[in-house]
Amino acid sequence: MNTTPAAEAPFQILAVDDEPELRQLLAEYFGRHGFAVRQASDAAAARQLIAQAVPQLAILDINMPGENGLSLARWLREAHPQVGLIMLTTAGESVDRIVGLELGADDYIPKPFELRELLARVRALQRRLAAPPAAAAPAEEPTRRVRFGPCTLDLDQRRLFGAEGHEIEISAAEYDLLALFARHPNRPLNRDQIMEQAHNRGWDVFDRSIDLRVMRLRRKIERNPDKPEVLKTVRNVGYVYVPTAA
């Protein structure tokens, strides 16, 4: 009787870029590290591959002929919010980078890049996406729920619920940020602390990714995002989570 355990399926990546050499390089490099990579030369080809099988993570180039990566990212985030999303940008294109983050990208990396750095980013995102919900608590123990104004974050299920009980879609990066704030109520956190603890990597002082993610979260959890009561700005410091806001 064969008792050999079944091999674990490789993590599925979709690489979308109009440069065939780069696509092949990504496929070969990540293949050597145990990932399964499919390739698409443009958004139309990517949509066809996604229709056949949804990847666990997509690496999208912003600048492609025809439908660009930002449009594809918007569609992918709406159609398959569970998919991790890393954007490839040309160095210096801060506007496209910011728009990509606003659309819900989990990370970005400027071209040209080191393959080892991209691999580290992919593995970090893979860990966040693959983290299973905590085991169900016994009946007498309530699930760990944290109020964010009218919304509730379920730390066991890694899900956010609105006031009426409906689920609000959040990305892995947005969950990590809310979970970090939940661990530090009423404590101002600066951007360095947030990036280090919620994203496990350093950042450029000109990088607005944290501000953009907080802005997106405010749209989801605040009664009035223009006058936040839950995630407040602390001038010259960063942000603070105020759990008493109703």
What distances in angstroms separate CA 86 from CA 115, 144, 191, 235, 237, one per listed residue?
Answer: 14, 30, 21, 30, 28
- In this prediction, residue 36 carries a pLDDT of 96
pLDDT for the residue numbered 7: 58
* pLDDT at residue 199, rounded to an integer: 56
Question: Residue ranges per domain, the chain?
Answer: 12-130, 145-241
Say if residue 38's pLDDT is above 80: yes
- For 166-193, how does the pLDDT look when each residue is reduced to its tens digit (9 = 90+)? 999 988 888 889 998 998 888 888 877 7
- The whole-number pLDDT of residue 58 equals 97
Report the CATH architecture of 145-241: Orthogonal Bundle (1.10)
In angstroms, the Cα distances linking 127 to 11, 18, 57, 139, 169 are 11, 28, 12, 29, 19
Q: Distance of CA 160 to CAs 26, 32, 177, Å? A: 34, 36, 12
Residue 245: what pLDDT? 47
% of the chain exceeding 70 in pLDDT: 81
Tell how strand 231-234 and strand 167-168 pair up: unpaired
For the domain spanning 12-130, the CATH number is 3.40.50.2300
Judge whether residue 165 has pLDDT over 80.
yes
- Give the three-state DSSP class for 12: strand
Report which DSSP code applies to 156: T
Choose among 98, 73, 72: nearest CA to 210: 98
What is this structure's pTM? 0.59
For the ranges 31-35, 103-107, 132-136, the maximum mean pLDDT occurs at: 31-35
For the ranges 84-98, 134-148, 212-226, the lowest mean pLDDT is seen at 134-148
